[in-house]
Structure 1
Amino acid sequence: MTGTLINVVTILIGGLLGLVLGSRLPERLRQTVMAGLGLFTFAFGLKMFLDTQNALAVLISLLLGAVIGEWLRIEDGLRSVGRWLETRFTRSSDPAQDNRFVRGFLTASLVFCVGPMAILGSIQDGLTGNFQTLAVKAILDGFGALAFASTLGVGVLFSAVVLLGYQGGISLMAAQLQALITPAMMQELNATGGVILLAIAIGSLLEIKPIRAGNFLPALVIAPLMVVLMQALGVY
């Protein structure tokens, strides 16, 4: 879990720097930085999706994932966690400030956790102790946390807790996952994650249209299973 711990530290450092520098950064600069992160997240998500070998597998995974996510109300759960953390660790009485905390926590958690580097890096770290992939991701996340925190506030820091549990859990189960997940399954999982990143970019970062991106997360579990099913049916 060395790589995950490094990742957590860079998020905390970047987030703290963002909080310190946030009031000193011109609003126009912060808006432009957020737009840049949104555009990069959009482009990166699109690149991930374009690597799919079967778009139908991604589509079905997203639709089934959305149904399950809406039924379980995953995004509402994440927002509830954010609100609990806000009431536990902050003392704001401003509703706008409360929403800012939740948005920072939710956006940063999804952006930092969804992606091929988080999955592949955690597997490498857990199996071989090679944390180079996660070290690269840590640098990117550190800069992202600085930008997020300067605009979205202290909620971004608490995304490190989600990342610790997510990446740490994958590393601990890496041997089993590596034995079960084939390259084709990983490819469609990454492509599905790319679409979720597109939703994050559109809904949270670029603020084009509200999208409950968190409710699509079950699709990441469904995508590998769809590959197995479609291979058995001879349509993959």
Structure 2
Amino acid sequence: MTPLDALSGTLWNALTVVVGALLGLTLRGRLPERIAGVVMQAVGLVTLLIGVMNALDLTRVASPPGLVIGLVALAVGAAFGEALRLEERLERLGLALQRRFRGGGRFTEGFVAASLLFCVGPMTIVGSLQNGLVGDPSVLLLKATLDGISAVALAASFGAGVLGSVLVILVYQGGIALGAGAVAGALPDPALDPRVLLVNGVGGLMIVGLGLTLLEVRRVSVAAMLPALPLVVVLYEVVTRVLPSAAAVVPAAAPLAGVLGSP
């Protein structure tokens, strides 16, 4: 499998975001603010739903408890990210791109919101791993469709900053796919690997925070929580090495049944 095969889904994802963002910019002057606001609310609601569904992956890691590891990783990661001023650094990067490309007044907000929405979540991780390991871009193609639709609404609301997120998609998502291709076969089934489930779950919680921000319910410093993604894997490895028997994954339907109180 060639590197181009591993990057096929990522390249298509980047293309749909560019097309969607350009369409959103075209509609920006013609789309009434009240309509753009309603569309953004719809995106926010879908973002919340996706985040909640992804966060349930934490409950699929039964031993050690995924919810506990996820909570510790998110709390410690957020504190570490805040100490490093990650959100401020992302904003500075957005401002640098704004000066270079002469974006709109909300360039930074659009860049950060789109980058997080498009790159933090299980579809990015699992899809990139699947594309890199076996050359199957199907998950990323679905993600590309969702991202393209979201890019229309984001660009109509935030402006050209959404286009800057394409660079993040290519570097982050493409990097995962290429890395997975380099270690093909190391993970027999990425979708069931506890470490992938934990990253997906923590990413889902961050997506919930982004949804709350998009809905203007409360501004959540999601960027500061980014260190939680690698940290949750480190915590899992430490716990399972200290307690070798503590490693179990439950079936996908079980967590939802538990939440609903089924016997």
User: Once the 2 structures are TM-superposed, how far is the Cα of residue 229 of structure 1 from its aligned partner?
Assistant: 2.1
User: Once the 2 structures are TM-superposed, how far is the Cα of residue 47 of structure 1 from its aligned partner?
Assistant: 1.4
Q: Which has the larger radius of gyration?
A: 2
Check if 1:206 corresponds to 2:209. no
Q: Which residue pairs with 2:183 in the alignment?
A: 176
Equivalent of 1:46 in 37, 45, 52:
52
Q: Residues 123 and 178 of structure 1 are in contact (CA less than 8 Å); yes or no, is this contact kept in structure 2? A: no
Q: Which residue pairs with 1:94 in the alignment?
A: none
| Whole-angstrom CA distance in 1 between matches of 2:186 and 2:203 | 21
Check if 1:188 corresponds to 2:195. no
Identity of aligned residues (%): 41
Equivalent of 2:140 in 129, 134, 140:
134
Report the 3-state secondary structure (helix = DSSP H, G, I; strand = E; otherwise coil) of the residue aligned with 1:179.
coil
How big is each residue's C-alpha offset from its partner over 1:73-129, in whole Å with a ceiling of 9 and x where there is no partner?
1111110010011111117xxxxx53x110000000000001111111111111222
Trace 1:111-126 onto structure 2 (pairs within 5 A).
111-126=117-132
| Structure with the larger helix share | 1
How big is each residue's C-alpha offset from its partner over 1:152-196, in whole Å with a ceiling of 9 and x where there is no partner?
100001100111000111011114386267711111111100111
| Whole-angstrom CA distance in 1 between matches of 2:204 and 2:184 | 20
Q: Residues 122 and 134 of structure 1 are in contact (CA less than 8 Å); yes or no, is this contact kept in structure 2? A: yes
Q: Which residue pairs with 1:110 in the alignment?
A: 116
CA RMSD of aligned residues (A): 1.7
Return 5+ residue gaps in structure 2 as ranges. 1-6, 60-65, 248-263
Equivalent of 2:78 in 66, 82, 92:
66
Equivalent of 2:226 in 205, 217, 229:
217
> In 2 relative to 1, CA 43–50 (structure 1 residues): closer, same or farther, beyond 3 Å?
same
User: Once the 2 structures are TM-superposed, how far is the Cα of residue 66 of structure 1 from its aligned partner?
Assistant: 0.8
Q: Residues 133 and 184 of structure 2 are in contact (CA less than 8 Å); yes or no, is this contact kept in structure 1? A: no
Check if 1:229 corresponds to 2:238. yes
Equivalent of 2:37 in 20, 31, 46:
31
- The aligned amino acid for 1:216 is M
| Whole-angstrom CA distance in 2 between matches of 1:220 and 1:68 | 12
Report the 3-state secondary structure (helix = DSSP H, G, I; strand = E; otherwise coil) of the residue aligned with 1:173.
helix
Report the 3-state secondary structure (helix = DSSP H, G, I; strand = E; otherwise coil) of the residue aligned with 2:186.
helix
Return 5+ residue gaps in structure 1 as ranges. 92-96
Q: Residues 107 and 200 of structure 1 are in contact (CA less than 8 Å); yes or no, is this contact kept in structure 2? A: yes
Q: Residues 45 and 211 of structure 2 are in contact (CA less than 8 Å); yes or no, is this contact kept in structure 1? A: yes
- The aligned amino acid for 1:111 is L
Q: Residues 46 and 198 of structure 1 are in contact (CA less than 8 Å); yes or no, is this contact kept in structure 2? A: yes
| Whole-angstrom CA distance in 2 between matches of 1:210 and 1:177 | 39
